[in-house]
Structure 1
Amino acid sequence: MQTIVIANNKGGVGKTTTASQLAYYLIRDGYSVIAVDLDGQRNLTSALQGARLVGNALEMVETRKPPEFTVAPGELVLIEGDRDVPVNSDDEGLRSVVEVLGGLGGGDFCIIDTPPAFTGLVYGALIAADFMLAPIELKRFSLDGVEAVLRAYVQVQQINKEIGFLGLLPSRFDAVKKTERETLRQVIEAYANLIIPHAIRNRTGYEEAEAQGIPVFEVPTRSGKEAAAEFGAFFEWFMQAIEKKED
């Protein structure tokens, strides 16, 4: 099973959009997917309304026992978020997350959405992960967190030497705004080796998909179709990046 943690210490940068649509695109291609919502805001839980519930994040972390379930090819199951999941986890909480996520299995992929802070909870998820993916918003206050993202990855890599960094995914990109186009250019120059060569634009299609709890490729509007093509291109890149590491 390949475990991908979606992380950034900034809120509102598109983590849940990325996590939910990755899950939907994976099951569309016949993969079995376990989605884990570690964010107390429960946005991923809301965005995956059709997924079969198999556990609760708080109960899982507190008991250190992964839920028991099976997942069929092309099926999406969800360990739902809980508003009482601790925002700040101590070392004990970190070890608990590492243990319980390490005990999950049965799916082809595990997609984990995280809260907007590098707490022990998030570090624990990263220590148990195969990959880290960091959506970033092209606004100055959001870009300030890029160094924190990279620092967290380096720290985790000292323990989890096998974790791969998929990259920085430009998210909620508004191509109409000159400031964001210029910021994207600057980010590409500064992080040429880390920037993912796809940008997820600020489209209403994604908002409609999350509000209805459906894949963006099922949103019938023009924006939905544009978003589906855009995310589909990123998804192809994502699968190639995963397969490259496996080789």
Structure 2
Amino acid sequence: MKTIVITNNKGGTGKTTVATQLAYSLMLTGYSTVAVDLDSQCNLTTALPRQRVAGNALDLVEAGEPPEFTAAPGELVLIEGHADMPVVRDDAILRNTAGALQALKGADFCIIDTPPTYSATVYGAMLAADYILAPIELKRFSVDGIKTVLKALVEVREINPDVKFLGLLPSRFDAVKEMERESLRVMAAEFPQLIIPHAIRNRTAYEKAEAEGMPVSEVSTRSGREAAAEFQAFFEWFLENVEAGT
């Protein structure tokens, strides 16, 4: 199973949107997929209301044991979030989270949504990850914020040297605004090897898809069609990089 952690230490970067639509895209492509909600806000759980629940994230991090399940090809199952998920730095929680996620089986892919803080659960998830992906919102662009993400990656690689960083994904991007276009130019100059060559724009279709618990490709509006096309382009890039192991 390939484990992908979606993380950023800032809120409002579109992590749940990316995690949700990535999980749906894998499902629709025929992969068996498990989505894990480590955020106490439970937004991923809310966005996947029709999926079979395979377990609870609080049990996973407290007991350190993964739930047992088998997802069929083309099936998406959920390890749902919990409002009492710990957000502290605690070695036991870190070990439990990493151990349980490393032992998790039953699907081709595991997509993990995380809270906007580098707590023990997030570090534990990153220690268990094969790949890390960091959505970033350009209207709140901050070099210091991105450096915090990269600092956490360096720390994780001291213990998990095989983890691969897929990159920084511009999210909720508004190409009409000069400030955001300039932020993207600055960011590309500062981190030329880390910027994913796709962007998830700020479209109402993503909000509708999350609110109604469905893939954005099922939103039958112009915004839905545009969102589906842009996310599919990113998804093809994602599969190429993950399957190639880069």
Q: Does the alignment reach a TM-score above 0.5?
A: yes
Residue equivalent to 1:93: 93
Deviation per CA, 1:114-167, whole angstroms, max 9, x where unpaired? 000011110110000100000000024555410000000011011101100000
Q: Is the 8 A contact 1:13 1:142 kept in 2?
A: no
Q: Is the 8 A contact 1:136 1:142 kept in 2?
A: no
Is 1:34 aligned with 2:45?
no
Residue equivalent to 2:17: 17
Q: Percent identity?
A: 64
Residues 156 and 120 of structure 1: is their aligned pair in 2 closer, same or farther, counting only changes over 3 Å? same
Gaps spanning 5+ residues in structure 2: where? none
Q: Secondary structure at the match of 2:132?
A: strand
* Aligned 1:162-181 pairs, distance under 5 A: 162-181=162-181
Residue equivalent to 1:78: 78
The amino acid that maps onto 1:226 is E
Q: Is the 8 A contact 1:6 1:113 kept in 2?
A: yes
Deviation per CA, 1:26-85, whole angstroms, max 9, x where unpaired? 010000001000000000001111211010111121122211111100000000000001
Gaps spanning 5+ residues in structure 1: where? none
Residue equivalent to 2:5: 5
Shift of 1:244: 1.7
RMSD: 1.0
Please, what TM-score do these two structures have when normalized by structure 2?
A: 0.98
Task: Name the count of aligned residue pairs.
Answer: 246
Runs of 4+ off more than 6 Å: none
* Aligned 1:132-211 pairs, distance under 5 A: 132-140=132-140, 143-211=143-211
Q: Secondary structure at the match of 2:8?
A: coil
Residue equivalent to 1:244: 244
The amino acid that maps onto 1:148 is T
Please, what TM-score do these two structures have when normalized by structure 1?
A: 0.97
- For 2:204 and 2:143, how far apart are their aligned partners in 1? 23
Residue equivalent to 2:227: 227
- For 2:165 and 2:124, how far apart are their aligned partners in 1? 16
